[in-house]
Amino acid sequence: MSEADSVPVGTLTCPTPDERPDLWPWSAAREGGVLRLGGGDLTAVAADFGTPTFVLDVEAMRGRARVWASAMAEEFWDGYGMNGGDAFYAGKAFLSADVARLVVAEGLGVDTASLGELTLALRAGVDPERIGLHGNNKSDEEIRLALELGIHRIFIDSMDEVRQIERIAASLGVSAPVMVRLKSGIHAGGNEYIATAHEDQKFGLSLATGQAYEAVAAIKDAAHLDFRGLHSHIGSQIFGTEAFTEAARIVVDFAARLKAELDLEVPAIDLGGGVGIAYTAQDPEPTSPVELARALAGVVRERCAHHGLPIPHVSVEPGRSIVGPAMVMLYRVGVVKDISLEGGGVRRYVAIDGGMSDNIRPVLYGAAYTATLANRDPEQALELARCRIVGKHCESGDIIIRDIDLPADIAAGDLLVVPAVGAYGYSMASNYNMATKPGVLAVEDGAARWFIRPQTVDHLLALDAGLE
């Protein structure tokens, strides 16, 4: 028995866009029973482009990016005695050339965390001055590319990396713009694997043990490192402002220590990403960009005044909160199977044409999702049934949604839509069972085009040397 088995059928339904607008792309609405997105029917999308397909509401993503940029610009506006604020989109959440251009057009920079993300951002035409590079184990190749192209900043994550970047910058005869990623000691986030600032995990340089201080002192003395400031990212899928403001306080207090003991100015601080989004009706309403930016501005101002420090430039790195709710997943229902439970009762297993290869989050984090039908309105159903949404992979753990109430007559051919898959859906997709990755279709004003095309079996087999 799962916990949900004690909840009556009819209570685990998907909130409509009217009920929870934060869960859906802004254009989502039902007309004549059919779910529409970006000015078109999702039934037409399925017919024209196939399933499974990630469907991105471009205007929703654009709008979400815009509010981050404007919230940071306004709350840290120099007219308010601040020193400017901005946002860098965390490309790991989901990146394509069009996405990179879209966020840049809205005034954001792009944060990258690998050679692939960095190369993509550069080839998409993003100004290197608007790119950051993260990573806890960067390769020489990644650092060299970043330095040759003159990207905005590299986030140093270890003492080894201080030496590594100094060596590469010296060999290129350049000065490397670096920020130091702090381990603030704060434990926040939706899951152990996505909390990133407590002591016992791999990211950042510890404040508690003095590593961070040592690293900054070494950077100050290094001939080819240009210290640009401090960074903190405390985790992901966080609600409220408190954990973020606590981290900001710790970062500014450390900046004061650097000023006092090393006579070093901290021109900028970056407070990372991590703002949570709603995935189901059970999740709280997310913290808005304005709410967070205002809270951060308050702490930064107060702590800087307390220490008599000039106010640094402040940036943040949202990923999930920009793209997550802007994208839905469109699956086609296949096999429906009733399974008798040991304690009595049945569980209706609804298999869709994707699964853990396009959404690993339920398996990896126990993440909960909700879903509705695109081709007919579940609210019109005569009867609902408790269903379990499973994929088509060779694992019994290949479950997308453990318990959800859908029309009892759900059958092959129905279209199932899962909202809020935009972040860490496509970007963590795999080819398990040689499944081809679905494409990402961008919809806007009734038109649709691929941001990323669907993979084909030929793409998959192209690297198999034995088939050449």
C-alpha to C-alpha distance for 404 and 369, rounded to whole angstroms: 9
CB of 275 to ligand LLP, least distance (A): 6
CA distances, 118 to each of 87, 233, 363 (Å):
17, 19, 28
Between 81 and 366, CB nearer to ligand LLP: 366
Q: Is 80 annotated as a binding residue?
A: no
Instruction: Report the run of H or E that residue 103 belongs to, with start and end.
Output: helix 97-105
387 is catalytic: no
Catalytic residue among 14, 304, 387, 394: 394
The backbone region for 401, taken as left when phi is positive above 0, alpha when psi lies in -120 to 50, beta otherwise, is beta
CB of 237 to ligand LLP, least distance (A): 6
Between 224 and 361, CB nearer to ligand LLP: 361
Between 318 and 391, CB nearer to ligand LLP: 318
Q: Is 317 annotated as a binding residue?
A: yes
DSSP H helical ranges for 156-288? 159-172, 211-221, 242-262
Q: Is 319 annotated as a binding residue?
A: yes
Between 49 and 239, CB nearer to ligand LLP: 239
Q: Is 279 annotated as a binding residue?
A: no
Q: Is 193 annotated as a binding residue?
A: no
Q: Supply 260's token pair.
A: 């006092």
CB of 421 to ligand LLP, least distance (A): 10
Q: Are 103 and 65 in contact (CB under 8 A)?
A: yes
CB of 47 to ligand LLP, least distance (A): 30
Q: How would you class 101 by CB atoms within 10 Å of its CB: exposed for 0-12, middle for 13-18, buried for 19 or more?
A: middle
Q: Are 131 and 121 in contact (CB under 8 A)?
A: yes
Q: Is 318 annotated as a binding residue?
A: yes
**Cβ neighbours, 10 Å, residue 399:** 17
Q: Scan for tokens 């405390």, then name that residue.
A: 234
Between 182 and 219, CB nearer to ligand LLP: 182
CA distances, 288 to each of 67, 134, 209 (Å):
9, 25, 34
The binding site for ligand LLP (CB under 6 A) comprises 90, 92-93, 111, 134, 194, 233, 236-237, 272-275, 317-321, 361, 423-424, 428
Amino acid at 97: A
Q: Is 320 annotated as a binding residue?
A: yes
Q: Are 38 and 446 in contact (CB under 8 A)?
A: yes
Q: Residues 34, 39, 45, 49: what is their CA dihedral angle, to the nearest 10 degrees?
A: 180
CB of 242 to ligand LLP, least distance (A): 16
Q: Scan for tokens 């009733």, then name that residue.
A: 338
CB of 55 to ligand LLP, least distance (A): 19
Between 46 and 121, CB nearer to ligand LLP: 121
Active site residues: 394
Binding residues for pyridoxal 5'-phosphate: 274, 317-320, 424
Binding residues: 274, 317-320, 361, 365, 395, 424
Binding residues for substrate: 320, 361, 365, 395, 424
